[in-house]
Amino acid sequence: MTVIIPGMNMNFERVPVRPACEQESLLSKWQNHSLDNLIELHNKAPVWNDDTQSYVLNFHGRVTQASVKNFQIVHDNDPDYIVMQFGRVAEDIFTLDYNYPMCALQAFAIGLSSFDSKLACE
């Protein structure tokens, strides 16, 4: 999964994105590799666990059930800093944690998109 969000300025304020045409949208800028004032994030790759014979992510106890919907979002420059994590804790209950530079609305929208495999697909 790839996540594109507006960047931050020197005062830690989000850079406004106001596309006047389709070529100025976040998606168009990302497709054209024009990432000025944008932050590109990716899901963290799981690691193989010999004990469980499966790929796993460390959610530090925040996620308690295995699910294909569980994921963590990181920046390529610092894969140990979890910007966002989303995962199952009960049959119909999920947890969502986020950190700077993501805001609550962005994290919630990304979490919602994981429920429909056709939304936010590359």
Write down the domain spans for the chain: 2-113
Q: Which of 49, 42, 41, 43 is nearest to 69 (CA)?
A: 43
Residue 66 confidence (pLDDT)? 83
The structure's pTM equals 0.81
CATH of domain 2-113: 3.20.90.10
Task: Give the phi and the psi of residue 107 in degrees, each rounded to 5.
Answer: -60, -45
Residue 5 confidence (pLDDT)? 93
Distance of CA 5 to the CA centre of its chain: 9
What DSSP state is assigned to residue 116?
S
**CA–CA dist 23, 38 (Å, integer):** 15
Residue that the structure tokens 């507006």 belong to: 6
Percent of the chain whose predicted confidence (pLDDT) is above 70: 95
Residue 117 confidence (pLDDT)? 63
pLDDT at residue 55 tops 90: no
**4-29 pLDDT, tens digit each:** 999 999 998 899 989 999 888 888 99
State the maximum Cα–Cα separation within the chain, in Å, rounded to a whole number: 53
